[in-house]
Amino acid sequence: MNDMLQTAQNTIIKTGKGMGLSQEVIDRLIQPDSIHEFVLQVQMDNGKKKLFSAFRIQHNDNLGPYKGGIRFHQNVSRDEVQALATLMTIKCAVAGLPYGGSKGGIIFNPKEYSEKELERISKEYARAISPIIGPEVDVPAPDVNTNGQIMKWMMDASKQPMATFTGKPVKYGGTLGRTAATGRGGVIILESLILKLKSQITNFKSQINSKSQTGALSVAVQGFGNVGYYFAKIAQERGFTIVAVSDSKGGISQVGAGRDLPVQIDSLDIKKIMECKKEKGEVAGCYCVGGVCDMSKGNKITNAELLELPVDILVPAALENVINKGNMYKIQAKIIIEMANGPISEEAYNYLTEKGVLIVPDVLANSGGVAVSYLEWYQNMKGQTWSEKKVNKKLHEMMHDAFEEIWRTYQKRKTSLKQAAFETAIGRIIKKR
């Protein structure tokens, strides 16, 4: 059993016992409804046929149709897909959506295949899962290494109605606002949290240790893919000071590793850094502030060093278990927003929580994507097309409401935000049994 699955199940067990649930109910919350394994036979460009192992795991549909992405990655495993399906059940319940959780995956590295081969693999997978999906049964979406184009291929091959897949290109029934939704949702949650803390802490800046020029809180974001980029961009627009960002090859920071932040500091220009990354192929070296990029300035840092910077808010938005036993003692941030799935190991989570670090769990922080997937599904089911402004307004309402519910449980139960999120979710799931 992989770490993510073990952690998810342990959290459900702990929460269920704390709620006084029977072992039978807890076991039912842990075990998936169904596990589907496939062997896909796909013709390659050279005319030879190749076999690919694939999965679709449907965890729980008490609240509604299963919902979950499809990932293409060489490290996909049954345990990982089961863990992600389990977390999707919790995430949908946390967000107040009428969905259960599922997940899919194919074991291969898509970067090693041509576009035509990717299309054939995608369509073969869609034909395999077609009998077990549908707009009121199971609604797939993009995930790691999949996108709107792949959803369009799958929609065509599955012969299912348009509402079966979300994350589609807008011209094929997708929704405006989906691309930035996960990052935007995370910033909405962060702002909701800061408002709560300001109302409770008299001297907020001294408590959070902010040193930025404007009094804005300092933020470091690990991961500059879709989620990390939009989180950083929108957070900067909302007045936060972004002091460091990184991608898989390393990052750029306002401060070197092991040094304190300067008293006066301007935010990195996230939009310009993305332009620079597209040109150079990496974030490292793209030191951009105030609309100007200067490759001779800034500090190149590793992903590991970014996590240990003396910032107010740390945002792991890339891989799982990046904060673990090996580096947990070096984490200086007072707030961590989990934008990646499972970025903190169980041991590190317990240590940091006891130390007083406030951790917003992934099932809440990154639920903006599935929230807007629901809005896409809703528009498809009703034959409607909404403006981006309306989608973003609805997203804000949904994320704010989800946060408020969990915050109430957090304060009432005197527990962690993660425990409060799981308790809220499990309460909703078992209520529908």
Q: Judge whether 211 counts as a catalytic residue.
A: no
User: How does strand 49-60 pair with strand 34-43?
Assistant: antiparallel
Report phi then psi at 165, rounded to 5.
-115, 140
Single out the residue of 157, 219, 144, 173 nearest to residue 369, CA to CA: 144
Could you tell me whether strands 299-301 and 250-253 are parallel, antiparallel, or unpaired per DSSP bridges?
antiparallel
Token reading at 36: 């589907």
| Nearest CA-CA partner of 404 in 136, 216, 139, 193 | 193
- Beta-carbon contacts of residue 329 (< 8 Å; ≥ 6 apart): 351
Instruction: State the Cα–Cα distance between residues 399 and 390, nearest whole angstrom.
Output: 14
**Sign of the CA dihedral 390, 235, 99, 97?**
negative
Indicate the SS3 state at residue 49.
strand
SS3 content of the chain, % helix, strand, coil (to 5): 45, 20, 35
CA-to-CA separations, 325 to 284, 308, 346, 359, in angstroms, rounded: 26, 13, 9, 16
Catalytic one of 14, 17, 50, 103: 103
What would the 3-class secondary structure string for 220-272 be? EEECCCHHHHHHHHHHHHCCCEEEEEEECCEEEECCCCCCCCCCCCCCCCHHH
DSSP 390-427: HHHHHHHHHHHHHHHHHHHHHHHHT--HHHHHHHHHHH
Q: What amino acid positions are annotated as catalytic residues?
A: 103
